[in-house]
Amino acid sequence: MNRIDKCFKRLRAEGAKGFIAYIGAGDPNLDATKALSLELAESGVDILELGVPFSDPLADGLVNQLAAQRGLECGTTLKGVLDTVKEIRKCSEIPIVLYIYFNLIHKYGQEQFINASVEAGVDGLLALDLPPEEADEYQALMKRAGLASIWLIAPTTPEDRIQSITSRGTGFIYYISREGVTGMRNSVANSLGQRIGLIREYTDLPIAVGFGVSSPEQVAQVASDCDAVVVGSAIVNQIAEHGNDPELPARVGDFVSGLTSGLKQ
Whole-number pLDDT of residue 57: 86
- Order of strands, sheet of 228-231, starting from the edge strand that comes earlier in the sequence: 148-149, 124-127, 96-100, 47-51, 18-24, 228-231, 207-210, 173-176, 151-153
Q: What is the mean pLDDT of residues 240-248?
A: 94
CA 231, CA 31: separation in Å to the nearest integer? 22
60 labelled catalytic: yes
Active-site residue identified among 39, 60, 123, 227: 60
Task: Name all contacts of 87-93 with Cβ < 8 Å and 24+ positions apart.
Answer: 87/34, 88/34, 88/37, 88/38, 88/121, 89/120, 89/121, 91/38, 92/37, 92/38, 92/41, 93/3
- Give whole-number Cα distances, 215 to 225, 233, 263, in Å: 16, 11, 11
State pLDDT tens for residues 189-209: 667 899 999 999 999 999 999
Q: What angle do CA 61, 46, 200 make, to 5 degrees?
A: 75
Does the structure show a pLDDT above 60 at 265? no
CATH architecture of 3-264: Alpha-Beta Barrel (3.20)
Query: Identity (one letter) of the amino acid at 6?
Result: K
Note the pTM of the prediction, 2 decimals.
0.94
Residue pair 203/150 in contact (Cβ under 8 Å)? The answer is: no
27 labelled catalytic: no
State pLDDT tens for residues 149-193: 999 999 999 999 999 999 999 999 999 986 544 544 454 566 789
Mean of pLDDT over the chain: 93
DSSP letters for 67-94: HHHHHHHTT--HHHHHHHHHHHHTT---
Active-site residue identified among 49, 123, 225, 227: 49
State pLDDT tens for residues 70-97: 999 999 999 999 999 999 999 999 999 9
Which of 10-19, 87-96, 209-218 has the weakest average pLDDT?
209-218
State pLDDT tens for residues 134-155: 999 999 999 999 999 999 999 9
At 48, which helix (H) or strand (E)?
A: strand 47-51
Bridge partners, 21 (sequence order): 48, 231
Whole-number pLDDT of residue 263: 80
What are the sequence ranges of the domains in the chain?
Answer: 3-264
Whole-number pLDDT of residue 183: 45
